[in-house]
Structure 1
């Protein structure tokens, strides 16, 4: 049976981008059911609009996608998923400010939890990263990682300067162990 330290060493070997002993993803909050407080018939109509909006966006018809997501928001203004989907369409359409606005709504309505909250945090983190707002991006990725997003966990590690330094040092140690005669890596 491996000790906790042994497991941390194995994690660092199999995931060299993860700082030694890091367990960001091991304390994930459960994703909650977001549908239970809404009228099922209204929710069905909104889901249908969202599915049609996603299909329109995937086919490149962003104008129709935006209209469908906006209609879903008009019908059910407290439904975080529609804001999250419209944010994606807005981002694809080049409207970063509008996308950030919709993501703020999605995060507020979801309480920053559940599947939609996690997705919105990841999207907002990516937009912050695009805008060179690394501190804000790191915060969003860390929150999404705690909700269970492995992508967000990876992004948080890449943005963490301490983790990058530790990973570089660990990489050098492993390089030296594998190649004792090789010159030091810069």
Structure 2
């Protein structure tokens, strides 16, 4: 059995487009929230195309990745991971509105359950945060955290205004200590 650290390393290799620590492992997801994907020839063919898309993206050919993910969607239109992957590639191309449409589709198809939903909530939250809509980002990060995303949990802590204030105060104290300005601590 592999450790959490081993799984995190493998995840960063096999899912390079996701934030580090983002992968959610089936054994960590309650049964009622797990992915319910059928094993069909279409889904298997779509997995191959998704892998091709990931390899294209890793090689820097995001346009080819979008094409592969789009073909996967044509073959298996009910497979949420295809929409997640294409959304990530579209976002990298600067097509944020189209990426949001794909993320919404992934959430609808996954019924808000499993890894696909977790990844879609996380990606959508990141887009909301980049747009400055922290309220929507917080809601999506919370959903992803509820599905087991450690990355989303960390983001929620960072977005907490009290945590931010505490971190700033600690930073200021340590900076003063380094400069020799605080001696009575």
C-alpha distance after superposition, 1:65-122 (max 9, x if no partner) = 1111111111111110000000000011111111111111111111122011101111
**Whole-angstrom distance in 2 between the partners of 1:97 and 1:138:** 19
1:107-126 pair list within 5 angstroms = 107-126=107-126
**Whole-angstrom distance in 2 between the partners of 1:71 and 1:130:** 29
Structure 1 stretch 157-166 or stretch 135-144: which is displaced more? 157-166
Q: How far is the alpha carbon of 1:162 from its aligned partner?
A: 3.8
Aligned residues: CA RMSD: 2.3
The partner residue of 1:32 within 29, 34, 44 is 34
Which portions of structure 1, spanning 4 or more consecutive aligned residues, are displaced by more than 6 angstroms? none
The one of the two structures with greater contact order (alpha-carbon pairs below 8 A, sep at least 6) is 1
Q: How far is the alpha carbon of 1:180 from its aligned partner?
A: 8.1
Taking structure 2 as the reference length, the TM-score comes to 0.72
Are 1:103 and 2:103 an aligned pair? yes
Max radius of gyration: which structure? 1
C-alpha distance after superposition, 1:12-34 (max 9, x if no partner) = xxxxxxxxxxxxxxxx7525133
**Whole-angstrom distance in 2 between the partners of 1:53 and 1:34:** 23
Equivalent residue number for residue 153 of structure 2:
153
Taking structure 1 as the reference length, the TM-score comes to 0.72
1:175-186 pair list within 5 angstroms = 181-182=184-185
**Whole-angstrom distance in 1 between the partners of 2:132 and 2:155:** 14
SS in 1 for 2:34: coil
Equivalent residue number for residue 16 of structure 1:
none
Where structure 1 has 5 or more consecutive residues not aligned to the other structure, the ranges are 1-27
Q: How far is the alpha carbon of 1:159 from its aligned partner?
A: 1.1
